[in-house]
Structure 1
Amino acid sequence: MIITDFRTKFKKKFRNGVKYLYENYAKIRDQKGVTDYRVSIETGIPKSTFSEWKSGRSKPKTEKLKILADYFGVSIEYFLE
């Protein structure tokens, strides 16, 4: 049920654009006082991935959102709000 709800929110967010997702990522990144480089090093997510999300060239995969959620101590849904 939780996975189904997440997928529904995830698909809806993509219809509205990935930009909101990146904005939520950037907001929490700035609040925590870290850079894309540091997040990249500590999570294993390539720094270029964040640039691709920001520009809308790619959509985040669920696995990467899970890694970021764990890293920042938030739920995956945080990025979809």
Structure 2
Amino acid sequence: MTGLGNKAIMAENIQRLMDSRGIDRNKICADLGLKYTTFTDWVKGNTYPRIDKIELLANYFGVPKSELVEKYTEGYYTDREAAEFCEYLRTRPEARILFSAAKDISKEDMEKAVEYIELLKLKHK
């Protein structure tokens, strides 16, 4: 069952998405034509947006609606900053190369990329 209707979860998710993208309330309200006080009530968990506004926010952030209405979990990544950066990359067409490179490069090049990533991981241990 989803957290549909849980104002606190929605508020946390909106704030997390804003923080991860460096977007403030004024910008979102201007971009989406929302009243600042209404949006602030959503971010503070005082009220819950209608489904059409949830869809508007999901499209704005480039995420499924479930990412707004369900409790956020860290998921695959153990490092929160890495998870947020990957989400940032996933939502930027110019950065999707990291997610679609496998279809365009050879097996040998993929292996080189994996080796490089492994070296980076060792560097940070």
Per the normalisation by structure 2, the TM-score is: 0.50
1:13 equivalent in structure 2: 4
Output the CA distance in 1 between the equivalents of 2:38 and 2:12.
14
**1:32-79 alpha-carbon deviations (Å, 9 max, x no partner):** 1010000000011211112222141x2210111111111110011101
Secondary structure of the structure 1 residue equivalent to 2:37: helix
1:49 aligns with 2:26: no
Output the CA distance in 2 between the equivalents of 1:62 and 1:70.
12
Secondary structure of the structure 2 residue equivalent to 1:60: coil
1:66 equivalent in structure 2: 55
Q: Which of structures 1 and 2 has the larger relative contact order (alpha carbons within 8 angstroms, sep 6+)? A: 1
- Count the aligned residue pairs: 69
Report the structure, 1 or 2, having the larger helix content.
1
Secondary structure of the structure 1 residue equivalent to 2:4: helix
Output the CA distance in 2 between the equivalents of 1:39 and 1:73.
13
Q: Percent identity?
A: 26
- What amino acid is the match of 2:48? K
Output the CA distance in 2 between the equivalents of 1:78 and 1:55.
16
Question: How far apart are 1:19 and its partner, in Å?
Answer: 1.1
2:21 equivalent in structure 1: 32
Output the CA distance in 1 between the equivalents of 2:34 and 2:65.
16
Unaligned runs of 5+ in 2: 71-125
Measured on the aligned residues, the alpha-carbon RMSD in Å equals 1.6
2:78 equivalent in structure 1: none
* 4+ runs deviating over 6 angstroms: none
Per the normalisation by structure 1, the TM-score is: 0.75
Q: Whose Rg is larger? A: 2
